[in-house]
């Protein structure tokens, strides 16, 4: 069947454009426990019960396939400084001197501080990403369930 070039109402991008909305960018990062660094993910592969990711080097080197248990998703929002926020990030509210941990809970991304869950949409615009739970655990060492 020939394609007419017209978009279908079943096309999700078409539906978003009709409502004036944008689709959230889907991307991930992974904690490389061998090198103790956060890596940008190009592709995700699964085998049996293991997750492997193809990661890119920050300096533009060749991609590398690593096994990871710590895969974190971009939440589709940025902090007050325009930095992308990922699951596992630590956000600082300078005014209240509070550190929030970004988590995925009950089907949504949330910000947690001192065991209390906050709407990430409210917190993101007044906080800054200052680290993550893997590279900077000392920032939230008093928090529970990191």
Q: What is the CATH number of the domain that holds 104?
A: 2.30.30.290
In a domain, 28, yes or no: yes
What is the domain range of residue 33? Answer: 24-140
Token digits of residue 111: 């910000």
**Furthest-apart CA atoms within the chain: distance in Å:** 62
Task: Note whether 75 and 61 are within 8 A (CB).
Answer: no
Quick: pLDDT tens for 9-55.
Answer: 556 556 556 666 666 788 999 999 888 989 889 888 888 888 888 88
In a domain, 12, yes or no: no
Q: What total number of domains does the chain contain? A: 1
In a domain, 18, yes or no: no
- The answer to whether the predicted template modeling score (pTM) of the entire model surpasses 0.85 is no
Quick: pLDDT tens for 93-143.
Answer: 989 899 999 999 999 999 999 999 999 988 999 999 999 999 999 999 865
Neighbouring-strand partners of residue 20: none
Sheet-wide strand order for 28-32: 64-68, 50-56, 37-47, 28-32, 71-78, 84-86
In a domain, 9, yes or no: no
Distance (Å, whole) CA 130 – CA 138: 12
In a domain, 41, yes or no: yes
In a domain, 13, yes or no: no
């Amino acid at each position: 069947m020939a394609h007419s070039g017209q978009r279908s109402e079943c096309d999700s991008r078409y539906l978003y454009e009709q409502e004036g909305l944008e689709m959230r960018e889907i991307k991930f990062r992974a904690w490389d426990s061998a090198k103790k660094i956060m890596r940008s993910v190009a592709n995700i592969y699964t085998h049996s019960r293991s997750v492997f990711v193809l990661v890119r080097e920050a300096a533009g080197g060749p991609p590398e396939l690593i096994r990871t248990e710590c895969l974190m998703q971009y939440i589709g929002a940025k902090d007050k400084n325009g930095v992308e926020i990922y699951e596992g990030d630590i956000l600082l509210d300078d005014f209240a001197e509070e550190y929030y941990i970004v988590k995925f809970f009950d089907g949504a991304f949330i910000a947690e501080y001192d065991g209390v869950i906050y709407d990430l949409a409210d917190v993101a615009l007044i906080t800054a990403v200052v680290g993550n739970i893997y590279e900077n655990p000392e920032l939230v060492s008093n928090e529970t369930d990191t």
